[in-house]
Structure 1
């Protein structure tokens, strides 16, 4: 909310509070709906947040404009256009008994029809059109349709069934419980027209049964003789009891009396919206004094906010030693030859989980904050042969901006983007939008985290990012995927890329327990410890080969078949570029795929054995975690030792050695630690740990 200034509360409803606010960068008045999603059930959340999805699909001068949404104070904030003239219902109430001139009625009706034609063209039913949901501008000559909270998006031209809407405006077919379509919206438009002509509702009664009886009879009080017979006949057709005999929007707009008004509205209002901030002539004008002062305040506030987010670990004062940190974060690779301690915002910061991408290092704290480590210098992850490692960079921690009141519980990094999951199962993404991997239905980049709106009706329990795709699992074991689709990595039985979450079909009787995404494939572990996978199976890294038959890729989730993986109870897994690693319920490690650089942790006769290996560790250890990079592997034992093996170039294995095909221990500066989380990317590793004595 730092970009907005609250002015006053303008409404309260079943789902939240509506605020009139001022947008600071241009001082424009806007409306923000605050919906506290934290305590809502899945169905309530889906119903309350449907308006976001619908408004984002619509773009019309006579429909309230949707700007953005964000999470704050554990509530969804929906930012939209402000209509200063109030509602048509209020406008009619203020007139007393003074009827509206026919020309004005026709002008308002033309705008309603134009806006609803746009709505219906998107296969959307409004389902709650009434004068309270039709807004006006300051001069009360331009209408804006709003409140799409219970709108229905039709997947086809089939009809809807749920009985919703305001009783006085519901159609006869709704009263009878019959299926309905756009013709029910036409009935509601007829009720609004009647109200414009008479200043009272078409159907009113003291109780619901009496109201339903009046609607089913379809009889209304006569219209004043001051209005033309042509308009009266049109009204009666719109209020026909048989929906098949009701006119469509196109038929109503083709009526001569309406057509003339539609043409006048189109000619006077126009269809092209000019935004001063982007117009080449308007944007060249010097700002006024007030604009300069406002811009200065906003710039100062943003600079101050940005500075406050970069807080380095305290160096102590008065000669006192620094307090012992509660968390120790190490990273190596990408030119960092041995484990490097990353700074923390404060000595008492506790980091429970970390994730690393090609260009991001992130961590989740015990109190739900997301930390991002940034380097002021330009990264050197060229990966080119002969590339020269540069000086070890200085990493600076900062908290994710704009989400201070949201509790993050899990984070996962892709190549150039990040997905973070709140404790209430709400998924947010930011970073590069290439391939649609942010899940927002487009390919735009985002600098701040935005809710994946298509999943608001679900409680996401797990999320994993591949290089350019994402897979998420809900608390009801439903699986969704989106992003780049090559090789069938999305499990959608195709290679098409998608920019919004799509439901993934699991093999019968399988329920997902965990998820792992690789560069070009995905893997799920079921509640029974069975591994199912999809995507590229190069070098048989997914274990999909069936005997002598080599499988190169699969487009839908398929159970692993390479012995002995089907007989093992797998608890966790990791995927690299051309290999993978599995941990069983006994703490044993199996690796599979390419062994060109020793990344399988054992010597093999060929570089692509296509059968599982069992790495041999120096001591008799039990593993708890494993992570894979492009040509290396990292594992954590029950006694918190860190082992790595594979390609040694650019510090991948955390020690100044060449390639090694046997697990070797990574020596950390601090030895008495508990390792909490490990993550690998292309040539990077990050580990979160804490001192043993800080267990309490």
Structure 2
């Protein structure tokens, strides 16, 4: 295999567990993260000499659901067409019939996800939090104004990723993205309960559900608390969300400007601003665009 170091006697080199059909990408054993149907491994692009992420979906867990498999393929194909500095790039995709897996290579961010990064760095200025928030909005604006419109549907701090050395954040894990045409609502319930807009449960929603989730992300960034962590079951979360009861974390927000901004994002679907409108909100008044978050 071209470029693959197979010399096991070299103790310093880490062997690849798996190599893609082209021989360009090699997967290591180290797991970077895992979800309901997907595992993400550290990997290496031998051609460019850069580390990447190897995402692997076990299709056997979906073998009774051909519609889900079709959706995965169509979404991954769509992701290959996206190009925005605040969206994780997708480099390659293929299926492995022998192991019954769908594999795709994406860029990897140096500092992991925003939830872990924020926990690690507890002393962060409001200005820095606003810079991160603005970059998430730029990614959302790109998705929402795409043709067709792309709804993420599972935006939360664990699937926003960080390059901490340059203060750059990127939206990832678009595996639940709903691809819907203009003036069409999506009709399936998926996502992370604490971050799900009430209308998601009603199965009739638009891209505005991502704005609600974004508001919850800002709340988590500011308070270091996952919204509705006071609830011990999904049923209790649903009851609060559907009746408009805000998470207890809102009481921790002392800054009235931050509270008002989060409330704006959590409003009724038709009252919620778009990502483009939020980018021009006075909340971001003193946040300068620089090379890291410029659109």
TM over 0.5: yes
Once the two structures are superposed, the pairs formed by residues 332-371 of structure 1 within 5 Å of their partners are none
1:6 aligns with 2:27: yes
Separation of aligned partners in 1, 2:166 and 2:115: 12
Q: Which among 150, 153, 163 is matched to residue 124 of structure 1?
A: 150
Residue 133 (structure 2) aligns with = 109
Contact 1:173/1:180 (<8 A) preserved: yes
| 8 A contact 2:160–2:171 mirrored in 1 | yes
- SS of the aligned residue for 1:26 comes to coil
Corresponding residue of 1:232: 259
Larger Rg computed on CA atoms: 1
Residue-by-residue CA offset, 1:523-562 (whole Å, 9 max, x unaligned) = xxxxxxxxxxxxxxxxxxxxxxxxxxxxxxxxxxxxxxxx
Q: Which residue of 2 aligns with 1:61?
A: 85
TM-score (normalizing by structure 2) = 0.81
> Is the counterpart of residue 269 in structure 1 residue 292 in structure 2?
yes
Q: What displacement does 1:191 show?
A: 0.3
Structure 1: distance between partners of 2:197 and 2:191: 10
CA-atom RMSD, angstroms?
2.2
Asked if 1 retains the 8 angstrom alpha-carbon contact of 2:186 and 2:204, the reply is yes
Q: Does the C-alpha gap of structure 1 residues 59 and 259 become closer, same or farther in structure 2, counting only changes over 3 Å?
A: farther
- 8 Å contact kept, 2:159–2:171: yes
Question: How does 1:42-121 map onto structure 2 within 5 Å?
Answer: 42-72=66-96, 73=98, 74-95=100-121, 98=122, 100-121=124-145
* C-alpha deviation, 1:52, in angstroms: 0.8
**Aligned equivalent of 2:7:** none
Match of 1:683 in 2: none
1:26 aligns with 2:48: yes
TM-score norm. by structure 1 comes to 0.36
Highest RCO, 1 vs 2 (Cα 8 Å, sep ≥ 6) = 2
Query: Counting strand residues as a fraction of each chain, which structure ranks higher?
Result: 1
Choose from 214, 217, 228 the match for 2:244: 217
Matches within 5 A, 1:450-461: none
Q: Structure 1: which 5+ runs fail to align? A: 273-696
**Residues 130-176 of structure 1: CA distance to partner in whole angstroms, max 9, x if unpaired?**
0111011142711110011111111222222211111111111223x
Q: Label 1:179 to 1:63 Cα distance change in 2 as closer, same or farther (>3 A).
A: same
The aligned length equals: 263
Gaps of 5+ in 2: 1-19
SS in 1 for 2:106: strand
In 2, Cα distance between the equivalents of 1:200 and 1:79?
31
Q: Is the partner of 1:7 in helix, strand or coil?
A: strand
Q: 1:4 to 1:230 in 2, by over 3 A?
A: same
Alignment of 1:277-356 (within 5 A): none
Give the deviation of 1:125 after TM superposition. 0.4
Mapping of 1:335-484 within 5 angstroms?
none
Pair 1:140–1:47, CA change in 2 (3 A): farther
- Is the contact between residue 9 and residue 17 of structure 1 (CA under 8 Å) also seen in structure 2? no
Partner of 1:153: 179
Work out the CA distance in 2 between the residues paired with 1:18 and 1:50: 20
Cα distance in structure 2, aligned partners of 1:243 and 1:218: 15
Secondary structure, aligned partner of 2:210: helix
Q: Which structure has greater helix proportion? A: 2
Tell me which residue corresponds to 2:228. Answer: 203
Q: Secondary structure at the match of 2:93?
A: strand
